[in-house]
Structure 1
Amino acid sequence: MAMNTINKDGTKRTLHNRHVQMIAIGGTIGTGLFLGAGNSIAKTGPSIIIVYAVLGLFFFLMMRAIGEMLYASPEEHTFVAFITKYLGIGPGVFAAWSYWLGLIFLAMAELTAISTYVQYWFPTWNTSLIQIIFLIILGAVNLIAAKIFGEAEFWFAMIKIIAIIALIAVGLMMIFTGFKDTSGVQASFGNIFHKFQMFPNGITSFIAAFPMVFFAFQGIEFVSITIGETENPRKVLPKAVNQTIYRILIFYIGAMLIIMSINPWREINPAQSPFVQVFKLAGLPAAAAVINFVVLTSAASALNSAIFSAGRHLYTLSMESEAAMMKPFRHISKTGVPSGGILLSVALMFISPIISAIPQITSAFEFVTSVSSDLYILVYGLAMLAHRQYKKSQDFMSTGFLMPAYKITSPATIVFFAVIFISLFFNPGSIVPAIGAIIWCIIFGGATWLRYRKTPAAVVKEK
Structure 2
Amino acid sequence: MGKGNVHSDINPDGTRRTLKNRHVQMIAMGGMIGTGLFLGAGSTISKTGPSILFIYAIIGVVFFLMMRAIGEMLYASPQEHTFVAFITKYLGLPAGLFAGWSYWLGILLSGIAELTAISVYVKYWFPSWNSAVIQLVFLIILVAVNVLTARVFGSAEFWFALIKIVAILALIIIGLIMIFVGFKDPNGETASFSNLTNHFQFFPHGVHTFIGSIPMVFFAFLSMELVSITIGETQNPRHVLKKAVNQTVYRILLFYIGALTIIMSISRWTTFSPQSSPFVLVFKLAGIPAAATVINFVVITSAASSINSLIFSSGRHLYQLSIETHSKVLNPVGKISKETGVPRNAILVSGACLLFAPIISSIPAIQSAFEFISAASSDLYLFVYVLVMFSLLKYKKSPDYLPNGFKMPWSKVTAPLDIIAFGLIFLTLFFNPNDVIPAIGAVIWLVVFGGFCLLRYHGEKPAHEL
TM over 0.5: yes
What does the per-residue CA deviation read over 1:22-69, in whole Å, with 9 as the maximum and x for residues that have no partner?
A: 222222211121011110011111000000000110100000011000
Identity percentage of aligned residues: 63
Between 1:448-457 and 1:381-390, the stretch displaced more is: 448-457
Correspondence 1:108 to 2:112: yes
**CA distance, structure 2, for counterparts of residue 292 and residue 128 of structure 1:** 19
**CA distance, structure 1, for counterparts of residue 387 and residue 306 of structure 2:** 23
What does the per-residue CA deviation read over 1:2-27, in whole Å, with 9 as the maximum and x for residues that have no partner?
A: 98110011100011122112222222
User: Quick check: 1:81–1:92 contact (8 Å CA) kept in 2?
Assistant: yes
Alignment of 1:54-453 (within 5 A): 54-333=58-337, 334-359=339-364, 366-453=371-458
SS in 2 for 1:5: coil
**CA distance, structure 2, for counterparts of residue 367 and residue 38 of structure 1:** 23
What residue identity is the alignment partner of 1:422? L
SS in 2 for 1:394: coil
SS in 1 for 2:142: helix
Deviation at 1:248, TM superposition (A): 2.8
What residue identity is the alignment partner of 1:58? V
User: Quick check: 1:112–1:365 contact (8 Å CA) kept in 2?
Assistant: no
Deviation at 1:361, TM superposition (A): 8.1
**CA distance, structure 2, for counterparts of residue 239 and residue 101 of structure 1:** 29
Deviation at 1:452, TM superposition (A): 2.0
What does the per-residue CA deviation read over 1:268-325, in whole Å, with 9 as the maximum and x for residues that have no partner?
A: 1111000001111111111001001101111100000000000000000111122211
Structure 1 gap ranges (5+):
459-463
SS in 1 for 2:428: helix
**CA distance, structure 1, for counterparts of residue 317 and residue 10 of structure 2:** 19
What residue identity is the alignment partner of 1:340? N
**CA distance, structure 2, for counterparts of residue 360 and residue 288 of structure 1:** 31
Deviation at 1:102, TM superposition (A): 0.6
**CA distance, structure 2, for counterparts of residue 246 and residue 182 of structure 1:** 34
**CA distance, structure 1, for counterparts of residue 368 and residue 163 of structure 2:** 29
What residue identity is the alignment partner of 1:101? L
Deviation at 1:455, TM superposition (A): 3.4
Deviation at 1:456, TM superposition (A): 6.9
**CA distance, structure 1, for counterparts of residue 28 and residue 180 of structure 2:** 33
SS in 1 for 2:275: coil
Going from structure 1 to structure 2, the CA distance change for 1:245 and 1:340 (only over 3 Å counts) comes to farther
Deviation at 1:366, TM superposition (A): 4.5
Deviation at 1:438, TM superposition (A): 0.5
Which residue matches 2:20? 16
Going from structure 1 to structure 2, the CA distance change for 1:157 and 1:6 (only over 3 Å counts) comes to same
What does the per-residue CA deviation read over 1:61-82, in whole Å, with 9 as the maximum and x for residues that have no partner?
A: 0000110000000000000110
**CA distance, structure 1, for counterparts of residue 446 and residue 254 of structure 2:** 35
Instruction: Please list every run of at least 4 consecutive aligned residues from structure 1 whose deviation after the TM superposition is greater than 6 angstroms.
Output: none
Task: Give the number of equivalent residue pairs.
Answer: 458
SS in 2 for 1:52: helix
What residue identity is the alignment partner of 2:178? M
What residue identity is the alignment partner of 1:423? T
User: Quick check: 2:323–2:462 contact (8 Å CA) kept in 1?
Assistant: no
Going from structure 1 to structure 2, the CA distance change for 1:324 and 1:366 (only over 3 Å counts) comes to closer
User: Quick check: 1:43–1:205 contact (8 Å CA) kept in 2?
Assistant: yes
Going from structure 1 to structure 2, the CA distance change for 1:296 and 1:335 (only over 3 Å counts) comes to same
What residue identity is the alignment partner of 2:245? V
**CA distance, structure 2, for counterparts of residue 364 and residue 275 of structure 1:** 31
**CA distance, structure 1, for counterparts of residue 374 and residue 46 of structure 2:** 21
What residue identity is the alignment partner of 1:84? T
Q: TM-score, normalised by structure 2?
A: 0.96
User: Quick check: 1:21–1:244 contact (8 Å CA) kept in 2?
Assistant: no
Deviation at 1:368, TM superposition (A): 4.5
**CA distance, structure 2, for counterparts of residue 10 and residue 282 of structure 1:** 52
**CA distance, structure 1, for counterparts of residue 175 and residue 345 of structure 2:** 47
Between 1:399-408 and 1:26-35, the stretch displaced more is: 26-35
What residue identity is the alignment partner of 2:209? S
What does the per-residue CA deviation read over 1:114-156, in whole Å, with 9 as the maximum and x for residues that have no partner?
A: 0000000000000000000000000000001000000100110
Going from structure 1 to structure 2, the CA distance change for 1:457 and 1:151 (only over 3 Å counts) comes to closer
Deviation at 1:249, TM superposition (A): 2.5
What residue identity is the alignment partner of 2:384? V
Between 1:175-184 and 1:191-200, the stretch displaced more is: 175-184
User: Quick check: 2:59–2:218 contact (8 Å CA) kept in 1?
Assistant: yes
**CA distance, structure 2, for counterparts of residue 286 and residue 361 of structure 1:** 36
Structure 2 gap ranges (5+):
1-5
SS in 2 for 1:183: coil
**CA distance, structure 1, for counterparts of residue 19 and residue 108 of structure 2:** 24
**CA distance, structure 2, for counterparts of residue 363 and residue 189 of structure 1:** 42
What residue identity is the alignment partner of 2:397? K
RMSD over equivalenced CA pairs, Å: 1.7
User: Quick check: 1:106–1:368 contact (8 Å CA) kept in 2?
Assistant: no
What does the per-residue CA deviation read over 1:206-265, in whole Å, with 9 as the maximum and x for residues that have no partner?
A: 111111111100111011100000001111111010013321331111100010011200
Which residue matches 1:461? none
**CA distance, structure 2, for counterparts of residue 120 and residue 248 of structure 1:** 30
Q: TM-score, normalised by structure 1?
A: 0.96
**CA distance, structure 2, for counterparts of residue 211 and residue 103 of structure 1:** 18
